[in-house]
Structure 1
Amino acid sequence: MNLLRFAVRRVAEMAATLLIASFVVFGAMYLAPGSPASFLLSGRSASPEAVAAINAQYHLDAPFAVRYLRWLGDMVQGDFGRSFTYRTDVSGLLADRLPTTLLLIAMALTVVVAAGLFLGRIAAVRGGATDAAVLISTTIAVGTPSFVAAVLLQGLFAVKLGWFPSSGSGDGLLDTLWHLTLPAVALALYLIGMLARVTRSAMLEALDSEHVTVARSRGVPERHVIRRHVMRNALGTVLTTGGLIVSTLLVCTILVETAFSVGGIGQLLELATSTKDFP
């Protein structure tokens, strides 16, 4: 019963958080400079009558509270509205671009886990110069925003060396993977540094634990000590960063997709924000 009450309370807290966040974001969008009407009438004579007609068509002349409640009701029913820019349902646009974004996030997450755990492990186990090199490199990685990393990687490996495409998402699976390699690395760089540092700290703490000392005193090979005792105990701490890693990937996807012109949801959101395409 206590577990059920706890679950209900957590769900209610999450729902309240999402509701407040949606209200804040919705309000910020409409308080931003510009309007959908001015974008739709760009290049044409924006007479007061034309602006009023567009506002009436998309209910933009309604009070803010009415617009928000209408939008919230449509969202609950799965109606995401129609795009001003593409003249089509938003749900269709999301469905077309979602696979690209999911693949990019999956690639970045794979790089984060593989590189972060590896660097953290060798830093903790080897120590000395290796530890110092990992600390320096991860400090640089953590201090480099995803958008800056995207520009640097694009300029070096795509423009200067020509090893990777500079933009786009490719056609077909292999071509898409090739196009998304640099964006995935740019998206993963900050998180690699963070995960490596967390892994290193957790492993150093585990190395000083009593059960590791006992295992060594019994003659257990060092590689077994590291794998069975140190890594296993450190993973508990590492797994607590999972939520932060996923949320960071979701947010930074917008910046990276925009930098590489990847046809995903992140770029779609950036375009919708810049053109106020959110009826």
Structure 2
Amino acid sequence: MSFLRFAARRLAEMVATLLGASFVIFGALYLAPGNPASFLLSGRSATPEAVKAIDDQYHLNDPFVVQYLRWLGNVLHGDFGRSIEYRTSVSSLLAARLPSTLLLVAMALLLVLGIGLALGWISSVRGGATDSTVLVATAFAVGTPSFVAAVLLQGLFSVKLHWFPSSGSGTGFVQMLWHLTLPAVALALYLIGMLARVTRSAMLEAMGHEHVTVARSRGVPENRVIRRHVFRNSLGTVLTMGGLIVSTLLICTVLVESAFSVNGIGQLLDLSTTTKDFPVVQAISLIIVGLFMTVNLVVDLLYPLVDPRVALGARGSAG
């Protein structure tokens, strides 16, 4: 199967899955108790005419399928509707908050890849006390949830040492980097430990392969053996974690942004879920699903390049 044909098929599968996910996302909120109209009224009593006006404005009385098709059509044109709580367009809310979340996720991802891969490499190559130290450190990291890490980092580096701010996103790129450093560390800690352990296991397994033994017997320098024959052959296993890493970052962003009062879509999702702001919750959920599926698509396309032994069709079926 050619690469272009494989990519087209995977893209079509992603679009079909995203369409199904949009139906589930739109419908799931209507199974929850309560009604958006009750929030708009803020608990005040209202005449039947006022309730009807709200229902008409937000099309709450239309059949479910009609509401879904109208919403989907608007989404395809970049219109996510109007926020019930903030009384403004959802697109403008997302435009204001999305940069903070994307920067936070990017910073956390760089920490995960840089530190996680480095620790896995060092642990597998050096062994001994270094390996034991890395295993203990990564066990602590894996056993620390993001919200616990957020509290610990705030208490030490913000409250006690005053090195970093305890809340907010900052204004300007430099200030945003400073404000988002602790949230990024809290977000990345668990994944650093997990990636380090996976990298270590994959490299130790690769070291036992016959071609590695042959390369060493031929006098190939050890650094070159590790780099070209061990680490490179381990990237396939590491790459399969790409979707899991990104999905975990996106999910845990909600907790971390709330803990640090970061003005991002994670905090917005948390607030909007509490107030049943349907349009906002639907939009953010769809964006998160879309990002997750895009990452999985990229992983599937990169996997045969990293490990040529895997056929495109076989990897596509497995994914």
Same-fold call, TM > 0.5? Answer: yes
User: How far apart, CA to CA, are the structure 2 residues paired with 1:179 and 1:263?
Assistant: 11
Mapping of residues 228-239 of structure 1, within 5 Å = 228-239=228-239
Identify if the C-alpha distance between structure 1 residues 21 and 228 changes in structure 2 by more than 3 Å, giving closer, same or farther.
same
Unpaired segments ≥5 residues, structure 2: 280-319
User: How far apart, CA to CA, are the structure 2 residues paired with 1:5 and 1:235?
Assistant: 24
CA offsets 1:84-113 (integer angstroms, 9 cap, x no match): 222221111211222111111110011001
CA offsets 1:25-82 (integer angstroms, 9 cap, x no match): 2222122233221112115334443322211211112222222221112112221111
Stretch deviating more after TM superposition (260-269 or 116-125)? 260-269
Is the contact made by 1:29 and 1:273 (CA closer than 8 Å) also made in structure 2? no
**CA positional deviation for 1:128:** 2.1
Identify if the C-alpha distance between structure 1 residues 254 and 225 changes in structure 2 by more than 3 Å, giving closer, same or farther.
same
Residue in 2 aligned with 1:32?
A: 32
Q: TM-score, normalised by structure 2?
A: 0.80
Residue in 2 aligned with 1:63?
A: 63
Aligned residues: 279
Task: Letter of the 1:230 partner, please give it.
Answer: V
Residue in 1 aligned with 2:274?
A: 274
Stretch deviating more after TM superposition (214-223 or 67-76)? 214-223
User: How far apart, CA to CA, are the structure 1 residues paired with 2:75 and 2:160?
Assistant: 45
User: How far apart, CA to CA, are the structure 2 residues paired with 1:120 and 1:3?
Assistant: 31
User: How far apart, CA to CA, are the structure 1 residues paired with 2:174 and 2:70?
Assistant: 43
Residue in 2 aligned with 1:260?
A: 260
SS in 1 for 2:220: coil
CA offsets 1:203-262 (integer angstroms, 9 cap, x no match): 101211222222322333323322232222222322222222222222222221122111
**CA positional deviation for 1:136:** 2.5
Stretch deviating more after TM superposition (178-187 or 72-81)? 72-81
RMSD after superposition: 2.1
Mapping of residues 28-177 of structure 1, within 5 Å = 28-42=28-42, 44-177=44-177
User: How far apart, CA to CA, are the structure 2 residues paired with 1:47 and 1:227?
Assistant: 73
Stretch deviating more after TM superposition (10-19 or 175-184)? 10-19
Percent identity between the aligned chains? 77
CA offsets 1:110-144 (integer angstroms, 9 cap, x no match): 10011101110111011122222222322232233
Stretch deviating more after TM superposition (185-194 or 210-219)? 210-219
User: How far apart, CA to CA, are the structure 2 residues paired with 1:94 and 1:18?
Assistant: 19
**CA positional deviation for 1:6:** 4.7
**CA positional deviation for 1:157:** 2.2
Is the contact made by 1:38 and 1:46 (CA closer than 8 Å) also made in structure 2? no
SS in 1 for 2:13: helix
Identify if the C-alpha distance between structure 1 residues 174 and 2 changes in structure 2 by more than 3 Å, giving closer, same or farther.
closer
Mapping of residues 219-230 of structure 1, within 5 Å = 219-230=219-230
2:166 paired with 1:198 = no
Task: Letter of the 1:185 partner, please give it.
Answer: V
User: How far apart, CA to CA, are the structure 2 residues paired with 1:2 and 1:222?
Assistant: 36
SS in 2 for 1:55: helix
Residue in 1 aligned with 2:304?
A: none
Unpaired segments ≥5 residues, structure 1: none
Identify if the C-alpha distance between structure 1 residues 10 and 236 changes in structure 2 by more than 3 Å, giving closer, same or farther.
closer
User: How far apart, CA to CA, are the structure 1 residues paired with 2:216 and 2:153?
Assistant: 44
Is the contact made by 1:142 and 1:193 (CA closer than 8 Å) also made in structure 2? yes
Stretch deviating more after TM superposition (120-129 or 221-230)? 221-230
User: How far apart, CA to CA, are the structure 2 residues paired with 1:17 and 1:143?
Assistant: 33
Task: Letter of the 1:22 partner, please give it.
Answer: S
Is the contact made by 1:82 and 1:88 (CA closer than 8 Å) also made in structure 2? yes
User: How far apart, CA to CA, are the structure 1 residues paired with 2:269 and 2:247?
Assistant: 16
User: How far apart, CA to CA, are the structure 2 residues paired with 1:30 and 1:163?
Assistant: 45
Task: Letter of the 1:218 partner, please give it.
Answer: R
**CA positional deviation for 1:2:** 7.0
Is the contact made by 1:116 and 1:193 (CA closer than 8 Å) also made in structure 2? yes
Stretch deviating more after TM superposition (147-156 or 75-84)? 147-156
Is the contact made by 1:138 and 1:194 (CA closer than 8 Å) also made in structure 2? yes
